[in-house]
Amino acid sequence: MDEGRRTVMTAPVAAAPSTADACAGATPSAAGRVLRAEIAVVGAGPAGIAAASRAAEAGRDVVVLDASPRPGGQIWRHRRREELPAQARAWLERFDRSGARLIAGAQVVDAWRAAEFRLLAEVDGERLEVAADRVILATGARELFLPFPGWTLPNVFGVGGAQALVKSGASFAGKRVVVAGSGPLLLAVGATLASRGARVVVVAEQAGRGALARFGVALLGSPGRILQAARLRSQLGGARYAVGCWVTRADGDGVVREVTLTDGRRSWTEPCDVLCTGYGLVPNTELAEMLGCVVDGGRVRVDEWQRTSVAGVYCAGEPTGIAGVDAALAEGEIAGLHAAGKIVPAGDVRRLFAIRRREHRVARAMERAFAPRAELRDLPRDDTILCRCEDVTRGMVDPAWSFRQAKLYTRIGMGPCQARVCGPACEFLFGWRGQTTRAPTVPAAVGTIAGGPEDTAGVA
Amino acid sequence: MDATSAEIEIEVDGRVVRAPADATVAAVLLSLGVGAFRRSVRGEARLPLCGMGTCQECRVTIDGVAHRRACLTPVRAGMRVSTDG
């Protein structure tokens, strides 16, 4: 266990949380808590860890809020640090030493500007308010899911979802697994699952050979990645890497039993126990939007110092555009250094700016190569669910509507996930945009939202 | 589940089970083969999708509190979990 080595603060836990009255958030002890810091960082993935470390090393009082039980975000999710690559261990150790205070299990549900910035979080059902002079948003990304018949069946997981579950202790050992969708994550997850005993039968990449060849050309500047891709392919065990293939439906009797794949000319079925499917990543921009930051094309707009359009609010990593772990680390360092208000060493600036530039260039090429093909728009049938929270099907909506109209008529996107799953899917399917973010950004106890200590004006 | 972690006991749908102390509730429920973490509004069985707190499909009742996300919640000795499975 690695927690012993760092300061992990959590909200006080009820002594015997065994009855319904543990329905928390309303306890007086928690309701009055306002934690003050010079800099608040939201997210403890690579960007947040780098930002917090650099700012705390510069002498700032830094608080980091993260929804997961342990720091690392998605890419460095772990149960034991020995599982992690050297780069991740080094950063987590640096973070430990930096003096930044991590509050694990803290889900930020609202953010606003009062005399200073305020973040409202729920920790173990209890309310926690953080006041800070500056905020660094390192909220990461989520997976893009595209609906097809059968995608709501049990044992259909996200690609990153399956990896996150395995890293949290789940096992697919002995299971027959199909990995399908798009992006470099497919190979990485296929290799992870195979190395942990799953029988990965096929990894189906929807992008065509031509698109991937162009991606290969774009990668010539970074041969390390080509080697990594080759290594991952060799780790897939007996699995086939099927390029230009996608899942058209999944079928089963209560759980997924088989998937139908196509290459656009012929279709075939593949028996499986588990289907992992995902089409890349979507930046998490909700908190930035709530703080009033400009978001362009789904990305938080930042300047060269990672400053958003709102003074005092920085953003680093995937919310500024999906570009991977090295870009996230560089952006986090830049944001942390700048937010700390110290002179940034010129050598650091050159190095970090160069990494950021290179990684975003590669990422743009990848985005083009792995863009979802038009055929995927035709997969949902009338009875295919689009919105899993409210069970709204394709047949219930009219593509001629706006997303807002569709919400009013059908409740699509109005469930607890707040359109984080169906919103990006509907944008791809119908071109619907203009989702709005509202507090609480995720469902929270009434006591968390209403139990404000002094000024709750911004919460309503 | 691997066997290298220390184990604790939790209660799942009235049954006492052993679980690695450093796993999440979602990981433990999947390993138990729980058929449904929750039922959708029209009664379909659902399991976690995203594994990272976004999709809300893994909501279960933990220690009497409904709608807790199993994928973000570490197991704790004596925890009581109930699913719609």
CATH number reported for the structural domain that contains residue B70 in this entry: 3.10.20.30
Return the bridge partners of A16, or none: none
Is B30 within the bounds of a domain?
Answer: yes
Residues of B whose CB is below 8 A from A18:
63-64, 78, 80
H-helix segments, A257-413: 286-290, 324-340, 346-369, 403-410
Contact criterion met (CB < 8 Å) for B31 and A158 = no
Strands A117-123 and A246-252, bridge-based pairing: unpaired
Contact criterion met (CB < 8 Å) for A143 and B50 = yes
Q: What's the whole-number mean pLDDT along residues A99-125?
A: 95
Of the candidates A23, A69, A170, the beta carbon closest to that of B64 is on: A23
Contact criterion met (CB < 8 Å) for B71 and A145 = no
Contact criterion met (CB < 8 Å) for B74 and A415 = no
Percent of chain A clearing pLDDT 90 (strictly above): 77
Residue A106 C-alpha, separation from nearest chain B C-alpha, in angstroms = 10
Contact criterion met (CB < 8 Å) for A164 and B71 = yes
Q: What is the pLDDT of residue A345?
A: 87
Q: What is the pLDDT of residue A219?
A: 64
Q: What's the whole-number mean pLDDT along residues B6-30?
A: 97
Q: Give the gyration radius of chain A's Cα atoms.
A: 22
Interface test with A, best of B55, B59, B72 (most A CBs within 10 A): B55
Interface test with B, best of A68, A76, A148, A168 (most B CBs within 10 A): A168
A residues 59-98 lying closer than 8 A (beta carbon) to B: 67-69, 74, 79-80
Q: What's the whole-number mean pLDDT along residues B68-80?
A: 97
Burial (CB < 10 A; 0-12, 13-18, 19+), residue A421, is buried
- pLDDT tens, A344-361? 889 999 999 999 999 999
Whether residue B75 is predicted with pLDDT greater than 50 in this model: the reply is yes
Of the candidates A164, A171, A417, the beta carbon closest to that of B31 is on: A171
Q: What is the pLDDT of residue A450?
A: 77
Q: What's the whole-number mean pLDDT along residues B3-9?
A: 81
- pLDDT tens, A355-394? 999 999 989 988 999 999 999 999 999 999 999 999 999 9
Is B59 within the bounds of a domain?
Answer: yes
Contact criterion met (CB < 8 Å) for B27 and A168 = yes
| Long-range contacts of residues B36-44, Cβ cutoff 8 Å, at least 24 apart | B36/A154, B36/B83, B36/B84, B36/B85, B37/B70, B37/B83, B37/B84, B37/B85, B38/B83, B38/B84, B39/B84, B40/A152, B40/A388, B40/A391, B41/A389, B41/A390, B41/A391, B42/A391, B44/A152, B44/A391
Q: What is the pLDDT of residue A125?
A: 87
- pLDDT tens, B22-65? 999 999 999 999 999 999 999 999 999 999 999 999 999 999 99
Domains of chain A: 3-142+282-344 (3.50.50.60), 145-279 (3.50.50.60), 380-430 (no CATH)
Is B62 within the bounds of a domain?
Answer: yes
SS3 state of residue A151: coil
Of the candidates A20, A164, A443, the beta carbon closest to that of B52 is on: A164
The interface predicted TM-score of the complex, written ipTM, equals: 0.96
- pLDDT tens, A164-183? 999 999 999 999 999 999 99
Q: What's the whole-number mean pLDDT along residues A233-252?
A: 89
Of the candidates A18, A162, A420, the beta carbon closest to that of B63 is on: A18
Interface test with A, best of B4, B28, B30 (most A CBs within 10 A): B30
At A48, the pLDDT band (50, 70, 90 cuts) reads very high
Residue B14: left if φ>0, alpha if ψ -120 to 50, beta else—which one? left
Q: Which residues, other chains included, contact A376 with Cβ-Cβ below 8 Å and sequence gap of 6+?
A: A146, A148, A206, A246, A279, A428
Is B1 within the bounds of a domain?
Answer: no
Q: Please give the angle made by the CA atoms of A347, A334 and A224, to the nearest 5 degrees.
A: 75
Q: What is the pLDDT of residue A1?
A: 36
Is B2 within the bounds of a domain?
Answer: no
Interatomic CA distance for residues B14 and B35, integer angstroms: 15
Whether residue B10 is predicted with pLDDT greater than 70 in this model: the reply is yes
Greater model confidence, A434 or A207: A207
Contact criterion met (CB < 8 Å) for A69 and B50 = no
Domain span at B66: 7-82
pLDDT, chain A, mean: 89
Domain tally, chain B: 1
Q: What letter does residue B24 receive in the DSSP assignment?
A: B
| Long-range contacts of residues A97-101, Cβ cutoff 8 Å, at least 24 apart | A98/A52, A98/A53, A98/A54, A98/A56, A98/A57, A98/A62, A99/A56, A99/A57, A99/A62, A100/A41, A100/A52, A100/A53, A100/A55, A100/A56, A100/A62, A100/A63, A100/A64, A101/A7, A101/A9, A101/A37, A101/A62, A101/A63, A101/A64
Interatomic CA distance for residues A111 and A60, integer angstroms: 21
Interatomic CA distance for residues A382 and A317, integer angstroms: 38
Contact criterion met (CB < 8 Å) for A420 and B54 = yes
Q: What is the pLDDT of residue A222?
A: 61
Interatomic CA distance for residues A277 and A158, integer angstroms: 5
CA closest to B66 among chain A residues: A23
Whether residue A216 is predicted with pLDDT greater than 80 in this model: the reply is no
Interatomic CA distance for residues A46 and A53, integer angstroms: 10
